[in-house]
Each structure stands twice: as C-alpha cells, then as structure tokens.
Amino acid sequence: MTGDGFGKMRFGMKVAEAEAALGHKLVPLVAGAGEEEACRYYKADGALPNMAFMTADGVVVRLDVQPGSDEATDAGAKIGDSEPHVLDLYKGRVEVQPHKYTGPEGHYLVVKGGDGKVELVFETDGAKVVNYRAGQEPQVQYVEGCS
C-alpha cells in the first residue's frame, strides 16, 4: 500500500475499476445507499478483512487499515509497529501531530509524498500504531471517516 493505491487498485478509480483491479466486489457497509453518494465506505467481498475503502462520488479516495489487519505498506509499516520504527521507515517525510482524541500521548504520524501532499496517516497510542490510512487529500486527513 502506498499513497497512490493498494496493489493494482489506484486512488481515483471508480468503484467498478477498483473491483476489477482488486479482483473482488466492493460491498457497501451501509445497505441501500447509492454508489454516487458524496462519501461512503465499502468492504472487499470475502477478502481483505479489517480494511475499508472510502469513496467520494463513486471514486475510491482512501483505504483504512483497521486493528486485526496484518497488511503492511510498501515500506513495511503495519499495525503494532513502534512510533520510532515508522519514523525511521519514512525518515524526513513524517510530521508528528497530537491525536484529536488521545493527544498529547496519542499521535498522528503524517507521511507526505515528494509533492508535499499527505499520503499516509498512522494513528498511534503514543507508542505503537493502532490503525492507519492511505489516500488522497483531503479525505486521507479526515479524522472521523467521511468528515
């Protein structure tokens, strides 16, 4: 996983394109809502447990990796890693910010790409990564999912 996508799936793909790239159908987390909604979450049907795909107007813009997942980034960062390990993996590209709810102990380790845009956000309890997300701005920086 990178700030550009996950495997063959790239942020900016429409849901159908993402499904083809992933090889799995994306199933809405809330039944009855339309694909073109301003913001909604999907899970990959029968695969990729503890991961959720955020869409904006039918386009995949973010991927949330939740506790229980062992999925790592392209640099090797994953849930359970120490803050110093993530800082070392992304040396010179990380901004440490206080977590909105658990700060000052908890942090956001915000990784920026070469273009200066945010690509990855690791949430920590002050010691270890508890979840992380990748995607496009501004959605990758949303603290509470779709807002």
Kindly give the pairing relationship between strand 129-135 and strand 118-124. Answer: antiparallel
Does the pLDDT at position 37 exceed 60? yes
Distance CA 137, CA 22 (A): 22
132 domain residue, yes or no: yes
What pLDDT score was predicted for residue 97? Answer: 96
Which tokens is 9 given?
Answer: 């799936």
What pLDDT score was predicted for residue 86? Answer: 98
Instruction: Work out the pLDDT band at 145, boundaries 50, 70, 90.
Output: confident
Instruction: Determine if residue 26 is left, alpha or beta; phi over 0 gives left, psi from -120 to 50 gives alpha, anything else beta.
Output: beta
146 domain residue, yes or no: no
Distance CA 53, CA 5 (A): 11
49 domain residue, yes or no: yes
Q: Please state the domain count of the chain.
A: 1
Instruction: Residue 25: give its domain's CATH number.
Output: 2.60.460
Range of the domain at 114: 5-140
Question: What is the H or E stretch that residue 20 is in?
Answer: helix 15-22
147 domain residue, yes or no: no
Percent of the chain's residues with pLDDT above 70: 95
Q: Which residues contact 96 (CB under 8 A, 6 or more apart)?
A: 83, 87, 107, 108, 109, 110
The CB density around residue 7, as the number of other CB atoms within 10 Å, is: 10
